[in-house]
């Protein structure tokens, strides 16, 4: 059952009032009585301004009041700042609007006695529709077949639903590669990018399947062929490339080309001029980045979304947009929209006068830019109160309404781009909504509620009516995860549960989406730590029961109860009474495991992240390239295994209960802060597996590259004996480090 608030209707009506200024309905109406005068026996006089409609800038639109009764004279006010038109006997009138907007036009009708009635009609005026939008996402519509498909990353399935005949029903399910993330339509097939399986799976409606291998490059965003281009474009997140997949001469499909787009490539979209737009998922600190490039890679430019320097407050947050996935271009071809999280990396008591709080750390944002030049309309950037992460979006067929999925808060927000106003919220859509799509006629809104395992369907065809939930359909044939892991994964990704966070801002996944790190350095000085670079969680389960965090201030995953109760401002997954038992309220105190089923479930999910991402820098057969093999010898001679020891490449552990093994390798500085309210004597040794995918480096993020770790940040050889290495040898050592992915060489 939907619980969308009545504010949807109220906001829509307010949005109409927020359009171009309209004089009072009685202005210039002569001596005509008010609409309510002489009702009773004169009720046969009615005004009917017709149905709400769309119009295009610069083109003539007809407003028709012929549905009125008893009228002999008609008078119009067009809602664009002009006064009332001259009275006329004709019911219809033509008008041309010079600018896009939401115009509330008034019709006043008069009978032979001079009595008057008034009605209104909303005219939604847009620029001409000149672009056929296409972008990657977890959900896609195939208009010709009246079908919508959703990927299931945990079940390795593609679920296809039919939406014809006024209903939405399951049509089919298909097995695809491991960890599917996006789906598109290409060459009469569903094309699915599967990064965990290192492939693109192409599925025909009859179930015939082709697979294109891309290995450790991690294909992520899939975009169907552009006009005049016989190809499927796929982002390769591990290498920053785009691959063009095309039909092979002997049948099936092959990789026809690969070219560089941008580091950490994620989403891909079609631009109005035929180019591709590729988002950089995790942003550098200075600005978010998007690559615009030719379909053959021959031309490339980088667009930016600016760092917002404003100081955080309870309603606004500065920082940098990050987790850029989708980029959506309006069908008018004049604006592109990018949903994201805005990370307040300028907050914290070491880098500013202000501590980070639950409502100033992250905030959901949507940014707007010109899809031709890439210029951002910075003043138009919209930040959402009580929302932490805008994960996906969908634009209506006229580009006037924007639906935005809020992953942690389990909501979908609707924004009227013509009125520049919020136009309602869909509450409780399901856990971790990560994809949205609209049917071509704008009637059905499809929501991929990923961790509820549901396609949730709403009837949104009438923007003046409360949306109606019409279906919740299972996206998986059977639950692929153990119950405890699924519960933990939901908790990890959720911010709406008040036990986890206050005001729906912070979820564990907002810093560790997909179990990875956000590549941010946060200032935790106010909580007794310091500048801390987010650590990847994938592969960490293999470290066993060792210490957690750079300062080794936790000794079990259940210690994250302190973060839930502290920085997140949640009430916690344990009862207050259980939390107060013995020394359990201390991070390294009495064990918390076994006390709270939900806290144990959260730990079970984190512990399931036991596989490193395969390195794309290894040879296709998994062996080390010659350069990396030479680097392995340098790794040994530089003394690196002294701390990065054993198959896990770390000596992390406790010397005695509560006393971790820490090292000062010359990287501590003024911003390094403390540990558990005291001094910070050193840093816990991180594993080097997966280091290829986790810049920046060191506990404070002060090394942008692995080479910086070995040179600029190691001037006194406290972090391995590297000062005597030549430039070539440094390259070889870096080449080896980039190959480390859990495999033993």
List the CATH code of the domain at 485-607: 1.10.760
Distance CA 405, CA 402 (A): 10
In which residue are the tokens 């000149």 written? Answer: 130
Distance CA 731, CA 738 (A): 10
* Class of residue 520 by CB neighbours under 10 A (exposed 0-12, middle 13-18, buried 19+): buried
Tokens of residue 495, six digits: 């911010």
Instruction: Kindly tell me if the per-residue pLDDT of 279 is higher than 50.
Output: yes
| pLDDT value at residue 521 | 98
* Cis? peptide before 326, omega within 30° of 0: no
Instruction: Kindly tell me if the per-residue pLDDT of 227 is higher than 90.
Output: no
| pLDDT value at residue 40 | 47
* Class of residue 81 by CB neighbours under 10 A (exposed 0-12, middle 13-18, buried 19+): exposed
Reported as type and span, the H/E element at residue 562 is: helix 561-565
Nearest to 519 by CA among 322, 306, 261, 305: 322
Nearest to 199 by CA among 187, 182, 186: 182
Instruction: Kindly tell me if the per-residue pLDDT of 14 is higher than 90.
Output: no
Nearest to 225 by CA among 200, 244, 249, 250: 244
| pLDDT value at residue 195 | 98
Instruction: Kindly tell me if the per-residue pLDDT of 25 is higher than 50.
Output: no
- pLDDT tens readout for residues 210-220: 999 999 999 99
* Whether the domain at 485-607 and the domain at 626-650+686-737 fall into the same CATH topology: yes
| pLDDT value at residue 12 | 36
Instruction: Kindly tell me if the per-residue pLDDT of 326 is higher than 60.
Output: yes
Rounded average pLDDT over 300-305: 98
Express as a percent the part of the chain with pLDDT over 70. 93
| pLDDT value at residue 166 | 85
- pLDDT tens readout for residues 353-363: 999 999 999 99
Instruction: Kindly tell me if the per-residue pLDDT of 409 is higher than 90.
Output: yes
Reported as type and span, the H/E element at residue 101 is: strand 101-110
Rounded average pLDDT over 698-714: 97
Can you say how many angstroms the Cα of residue 409 is from the centroid of all Cα atoms in its chain?
13
| pLDDT value at residue 41 | 53
Range of lowest pLDDT (14-18, 346-350, 473-477, 616-620): 14-18
Distance CA 227, CA 221 (A): 18
Range of lowest pLDDT (62-76, 214-228, 469-483, 690-704): 214-228
Instruction: Kindly tell me if the per-residue pLDDT of 191 is higher than 50.
Output: yes
Nearest to 689 by CA among 538, 565, 548, 572: 538
Architecture of domain 7-126: Sandwich (2.60)
Q: How confident is the model at residue 18 (pLDDT cuts 50, 70, 90)?
A: very low
- pLDDT tens readout for residues 354-391: 999 999 999 999 999 999 999 999 999 999 999 999 99
Distance CA 248, CA 238 (A): 25
| pLDDT value at residue 292 | 98
8 Å CB contact between 535 and 686: yes
Q: How confident is the model at residue 165 (pLDDT cuts 50, 70, 90)?
A: confident
Instruction: Kindly tell me if the per-residue pLDDT of 163 is higher than 80.
Output: yes
| pLDDT value at residue 201 | 98
| pLDDT value at residue 465 | 82
Instruction: Kindly tell me if the per-residue pLDDT of 697 is higher than 70.
Output: yes
* Class of residue 704 by CB neighbours under 10 A (exposed 0-12, middle 13-18, buried 19+): middle
- pLDDT tens readout for residues 628-664: 999 999 999 999 999 999 999 999 999 998 899 999 9
Nearest to 10 by CA among 424, 427, 420: 424
Q: How confident is the model at residue 464 (pLDDT cuts 50, 70, 90)?
A: confident
- pLDDT tens readout for residues 543-581: 567 899 999 999 999 999 999 999 999 999 999 999 999
Residues ≥6 apart with Cβ < 8 Å to 572: 499, 561, 564, 565, 579
8 Å CB contact between 362 and 341: yes
In which residue are the tokens 């924007």 written? Answer: 402
| pLDDT value at residue 74 | 98
DSSP string, 397-431: TTS-EEEEEETTTTEEEEEETTTTEEEEEE----S
DSSP string, 298-350: S-EEEEEEE-B-PPP-SS---BEEE-----EE-TTSS-EEEEEEEE-TT-STT
- DSSP label of 587: T
Query: How confident is the prediction for the chain on average, in pLDDT?
Result: 92
Q: How confident is the model at residue 466 (pLDDT cuts 50, 70, 90)?
A: confident
Domains of the chain, by residue range, sit at 7-126, 128-260, 485-607, 626-650+686-737
| pLDDT value at residue 309 | 97
| Whole-number Cα distances in Å, 500 to 410, 567, 602 | 14, 10, 11
What is the fold, at CATH topology level, of the domain defined by 128-260? Methylamine Dehydrogenase; Chain H (2.130.10)
- DSSP label of 536: P
Strand partners, 82: none
| pLDDT value at residue 17 | 36
Reported as type and span, the H/E element at residue 254 is: strand 253-260
Rounded average pLDDT over 78-97: 95
* Class of residue 373 by CB neighbours under 10 A (exposed 0-12, middle 13-18, buried 19+): exposed
Strand partners, 716: none
What is the fold, at CATH topology level, of the domain defined by 626-650+686-737? Cytochrome Bc1 Complex; Chain D, domain 2 (1.10.760)
Q: What is the CA radius of gyration of the chain?
A: 29
| pLDDT value at residue 21 | 36
Tokens of residue 438, six digits: 């609209």
Q: How confident is the model at residue 437 (pLDDT cuts 50, 70, 90)?
A: very high
pTM score, whole prediction: 0.93
Percentage helix, strand, coil for the chain under 3-state DSSP, each rounded to 5:
15, 30, 55
Nearest to 311 by CA among 347, 340, 283: 347
């Amino acid at each position: 059952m939907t619980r969308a608030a009545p504010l949807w209707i109220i906001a829509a009506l307010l949005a109409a009032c927020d359009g171009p200024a309209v004089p009072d309905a009685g202005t210039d109406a002569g001596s005509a009585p008010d609409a309510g005068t002489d009702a009773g026996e004169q009720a046969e006089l009615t005004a009917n301004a017709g149905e709400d409609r769309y119009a295009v800038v610069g083109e003539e639109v007809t407003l028709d009041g012929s549905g009125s009764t008893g009228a002999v004279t008609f008078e119009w006010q067009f809602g664009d700042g002009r006064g009332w038109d001259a009275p006329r006997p004709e019911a219809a009138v033509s008008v041309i609007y010079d600018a896009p907007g939401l115009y509330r036009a008034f019709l006043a009708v008069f009978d032979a006695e001079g009595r008057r009635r008034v009605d209104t009609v909303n005219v939604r005026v847009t620029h001409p529709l000149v672009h056929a939008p296409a972008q990657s996402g977890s959900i896609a519509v195939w208009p010709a077949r009246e079908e919508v498909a959703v990927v299931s990353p945990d079940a390795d399935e593609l679920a296809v639903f039919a939406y014809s005949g006024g209903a939405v029903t399951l049509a089919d399910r298909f097995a695809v590669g491991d960890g599917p993330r996006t789906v598109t339509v290409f060459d009469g097939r569903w094309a699915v990018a599967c990064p965990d399986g290192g492939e693109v799976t192409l599925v025909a409606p009859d179930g015939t399947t082709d697979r294109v291998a891309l290995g450790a490059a991690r294909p992520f965003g899939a975009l169907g062929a552009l006009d005049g281009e016989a190809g499927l474009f796929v982002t390769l997140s591990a290498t920053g490339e785009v691959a063009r997949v095309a039909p092979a001469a002997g049948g099936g499909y092959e990789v026809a080309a690969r070219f560089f787009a941008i580091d950490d490539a994620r989403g891909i979209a079609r631009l109005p001029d035929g180019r591709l737009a590729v988002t950089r998922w995790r942003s550098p600190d200075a600005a978010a980045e998007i690559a615009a490039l030719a379909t053959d890679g021959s031309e490339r430019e980088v667009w930016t979304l600016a760092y917002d320097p404003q100081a955080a407050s309870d309603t606004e947050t500065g920082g940098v947009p990050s987790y850029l996935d989708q980029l959506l271009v309006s069908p008018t071809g004049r604006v592109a929209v990018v949903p994201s999280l805005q990370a307040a990396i300028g907050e914290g008591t070491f880098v500013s006068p202000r501590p980070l709080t639950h409502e100033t750390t992250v905030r959901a944002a949507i940014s707007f830019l010109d899809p031709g030049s890439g210029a951002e309309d910075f003043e138009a950037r919209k930040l959402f109160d009580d929302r932490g992460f805008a994960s996906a979006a969908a634009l209506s067929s006229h580009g006037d309404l924007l639906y935005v999925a809020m992953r942690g808060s389990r909501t979908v927000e609707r924004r009227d781009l013509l009125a520049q106003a919020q136009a309602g919220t869909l509450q409780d859509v399901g856990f971790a909504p990560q994809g949205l799509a609209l049917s071509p006629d704008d009637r059905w809104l499809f929501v991929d509620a990923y961790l509820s395992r549901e396609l949730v369907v709403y009837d949104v065809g009438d923007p003046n009516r409360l949306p109606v939930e019409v279906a919740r359909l299972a996206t998986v044939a059977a639950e692929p995860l153990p119950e405890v892991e699924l519960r933990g994964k939901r908790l990890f990704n959720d911010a709406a549960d008040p036990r986890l966070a206050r005001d729906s801002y912070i979820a564990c996944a907002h810093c560790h989406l997909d179990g990875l790190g956000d590549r941010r350095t946060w200032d935790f000085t106010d909580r007794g730590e310091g500048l801390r670079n987010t650590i990847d969680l994938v592969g960490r389960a293999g470290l066993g029961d060792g210490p957690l965090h750079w300062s080794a201030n936790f000794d079990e995953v259940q210690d994250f109860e302190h973060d839930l109760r502290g920085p997140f401002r949640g009430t916690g997954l344990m009862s207050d009474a259980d939390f107060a038992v013995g020394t359990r309220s201390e991070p390294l105190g009495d064990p918390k495991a076994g006390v709270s089923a939900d806290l144990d479930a959260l730990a079970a999910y984190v512990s399931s992240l036991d596989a490193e991402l395969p390195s794309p820098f290894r040879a296709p057969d998994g062996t080390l390239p010659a350069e990396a093999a030479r680097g392995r010898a340098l790794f040994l001679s530089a003394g690196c295994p002294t701390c990065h020891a054993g198959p896990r490449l770390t000596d992390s552990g406790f010397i005695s209960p509560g006393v971790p093994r820490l090292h000062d390798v010359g990287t501590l500085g003024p911003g390094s802060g403390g540990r558990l309210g005291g001094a910070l004597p050193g840093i816990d040794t991180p594993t080097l597996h997966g280091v290829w995918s986790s810049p920046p480096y060191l506990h404070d993020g002060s090394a942008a590259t692995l080479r910086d770790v070995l040179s600029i940040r190691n001037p006194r050889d406290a972090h391995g004996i590297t000062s005597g290495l030549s430039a070539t040898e440094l390259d070889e050592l870096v080449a080896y480090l980039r190959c480390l992915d859990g495999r033993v060489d």
